[in-house]
Structure 1
Amino acid sequence: MTGKKHKRIKASDASFNMINHLVFLLLTLICVYPFYYMIINTVSANDLSANGYINFWPRAVHFDNYVQVLSLDGLSTAALVSLGRTVMGTICTVFASAFLGFMFTQENMWHRKFWYRFFVITMYFNAGLIPMFVTMQTLHLTNTFWVYVIPAIVQPFNIILVKTYVESMPKSLQEAAEIDGAGIFTVFGKIILPTAKPILATVAIFSAVGQWNSFQDTLIYITEQKLYSLQYLLYIYINQANSLAALVRNSGTSAIAGSLATQQTPTSIRMTVSVIVVLPILFVYPVFQRFFVKGIMIGSVKG
């Protein structure tokens, strides 16, 4: 009897695992297909793509769309702005989150509980768009690169994650360092930063994705074209896809686009620019993935 029951349990486990794998495979396909759809439409014949004939497989493959779109005015400058704000913003946010999260675990910090609650309450209240714009203007940050970096440095949610992670670490690490004469900055630099890599990688992913995908700050604070971000340029290109397609067709860069298969259309402009903007950030997650799960799980265990 025991053997038969054991076999039934194994059979049910196998059935559950198969259904589980099928469900997650289906969810994966649903998530991946939009990116795949955009990519195959950018490398397929533009006339077929515009008429909705490209759904599963590329047809009449060519790469003229990327050559022509990458030559558009302002795209390379916007890419540098987005790259710069992502790198600098992520570094500043990670460092600030690490230091403040660590300091809020120190019992001898002056009015620690008050300052911690002061930071946390900003997650629930903000002054609004107009006061924020007036503040940025008063600080002379409008129409400057630093308007992308400075307002995003202190993020309460990231500070909470780091604080929770540091609290889960053995206190004996810091106590042993302090017995050896280490000060607060030595403890932070030589013990906390190396030990907290998983949660810092998690914060880095959140910050990098947020910085790269942001376009509203450009819309509100920036009027100079040289400071446009890539996402904001994507927003403009998508809204002006019809006129932009005509511009590319009539420009010197489209001399090779004599056939309908390679002539730019509003659809090809939208798809190509979207792929150019989305692809770089897709490579960020695999770099930090081995830290991400551990960091987010540990950072969510304690309140």
Structure 2
Amino acid sequence: MTFSTLNYAVFLLLVVICAYPFYYLIINSVSANDVSALGDVRLFPVGFHLSNFEQVFQANGLPLAAAISVARTVIGTVATVLASAFLGFMFTQDRMWGRRFWYRFVVVTMYFSAGLIPMFIIMKNLGLTNNFWVYVLPFVVQPFFIVLVKTYVEGMPRELQEAAEVDGAGVLRTFFMIYLPNMTPILATVAIFAAVTQWNSFQDTLIYITDQSLYTLQYLLYMFINQANSLAMAAQNAGGNLSSIADAASTQTPTSIRMTVSVIVILPIIFIYPLFQRYFVKGIMLGAVKG
């Protein structure tokens, strides 16, 4: 009884420690901006209001940017999951020509990178700058995910493939009809990692995109934060002739905008993760440990 009570107390403490940062963001985003800027909001909202969210949602181009972010997340995640599943499966096939070489060739890219300038030159030569597919194609083949899937497939009974081949199934049919439906835990794990990466990414927009119609939500909110910082600095340096700028800054501080933007960005992931959570733990364990 004592052990159970202590066990529950420890895990409850861990839950509070993990959940408090998100709670802190939420209560600061809906509290009075001047109080939030001073760091005086810790447990409960002070001066509750939703004007921060109203101002963020009024940003120019927000609906289109949100659509671009959703599209890149969905398409990019599906492409990454399918590529990781197929390559992870193929790297377990002895009949694949140069299997060990190609597997090592893919894995070595985890440790070496060409760098920013060569990557930009490659994307430009491929015609991917100011192109939606620059959000998807560079992320399709992910060595870490392939390793996870390969290890998971190696733990599946080999008799499944042998039985399919006896019935006349080829490699593709064996993959799509036999292996893919049985990869749910590891594919859910890959999907979570890929979706979070795609949803949170904004640096590729910063580097490769100048067309405003292709801006992502995260990049637009990043620009909005910079504008809020500039507004606050202008208000601090302004004299009586710029009272209107000072009035605008008093209703919206960099701290409040950072909190509000953070809440907007993380809420979709917080709602999606519980749907895959039951597969996540099983998939990451089975995909990382062989035997």
Q: Calculate the TM-score normalised by the size of structure 1.
A: 0.85
Query: 1:162 aligned to 141, 149, 160, which one?
Result: 149
Distance, in Å, in 2 between the alignment partners of 1:139 and 1:263 is 46
The answer (yes or no) to whether the contact 1:143–1:221 under 8 Å persists in 2 is: yes
Matching residue of 1:122: 109
Query: 1:272 aligned to 255, 260, 270, which one?
Result: 260
Shift of 1:244: 5.3
Distance, in Å, in 2 between the alignment partners of 1:243 and 1:124 is 38
Gaps of 5+ in 1: 1-13, 248-258
Distance, in Å, in 2 between the alignment partners of 1:193 and 1:201 is 12
| Residues 53-108 of structure 1 deviation map (CA, whole Å, 9 limit, x = unaligned) | 32111133222222222011122222111111110000000000000111111111
Distance, in Å, in 2 between the alignment partners of 1:217 and 1:147 is 8
The answer (yes or no) to whether the contact 1:238–1:270 under 8 Å persists in 2 is: yes
Matching residue of 1:256: none
Matching residue of 2:122: 135
How many residue pairs end up in the alignment?
Answer: 278
Shift of 1:243: 4.3
Aligned: 1:40 with 2:22: no
| Residues 99-122 of structure 1 deviation map (CA, whole Å, 9 limit, x = unaligned) | 011111111111111111111111
Matching residue of 1:4: none
Aligned: 1:172 with 2:148: no
Distance, in Å, in 1 between the alignment partners of 2:115 and 2:99 is 27
Letter of the 2:265 partner, please give it. V
Matching residue of 2:178: 191
The answer (yes or no) to whether the contact 1:246–1:264 under 8 Å persists in 2 is: no
Larger displacement relative to structure 2 (222-231 or 277-286)? 222-231
Percent of pairs identical after alignment?
Answer: 67
Q: How do 1:284-299 residues align onto structure 2 when only pairs under 5 Å count? A: 284-299=272-287
Matching residue of 1:61: 48
Letter of the 2:126 partner, please give it. L
Matching residue of 1:254: none
Aligned: 1:234 with 2:221: yes
Shift of 1:301: 1.5
Shift of 1:16: 4.1
Gaps of 5+ in 2: 235-246
Q: Calculate the TM-score normalised by the size of structure 2.
A: 0.89
The answer (yes or no) to whether the contact 2:228–2:252 under 8 Å persists in 1 is: no
Larger displacement relative to structure 2 (281-290 or 204-213)? 281-290
Query: 2:138 aligned to 151, 154, 158, which one?
Result: 151
The answer (yes or no) to whether the contact 1:162–1:199 under 8 Å persists in 2 is: yes
| Residues 202-239 of structure 1 deviation map (CA, whole Å, 9 limit, x = unaligned) | 10011001111112211211122222222222322222
**Pairwise CA RMSD:** 2.2
Letter of the 1:270 partner, please give it. R
Letter of the 1:126 partner, please give it. S
